[in-house]
Amino acid sequence: MDFWIKFWTILFFASLGLFSALSIVVAIGGIFDIRALFKQLTKDADETENRIDTT
């Protein structure tokens, strides 16, 4: 019985650690994606403004 308690405890904490690490990786990737989105939106807005000014 002692084996199963240790097994499930180790499995639980390993899963919890993996979930935490994956959450951090996804959050960091999301931050970079949002920054790229805002840069692209700013670039598109500037191009649209320049196009309106030249016509």
Two tokens at 53? Answer: 């000014």
pTM score, two decimals?
0.68
Two tokens at 15? Answer: 């899963």
Q: Is 50 exposed, middle or buried (0-12, 13-18, 19+ CB in 10 A)?
A: exposed
Q: Give the span between the Cα atoms of 15 and 26, in whole angstroms.
A: 16
pLDDT value at residue 50: 77
* Ranges of each domain in the chain: 21-55
Residue 55 has pLDDT above 80, yes or no: no
User: How does 23-38 read in b/e, with b if 16+ C-beta sit within 10 Å?
Assistant: eeeeeeeeeeeeeeee
> 6-49 pLDDT, tens per residue?
999 999 999 999 999 999 999 999 999 999 999 999 998 888 87
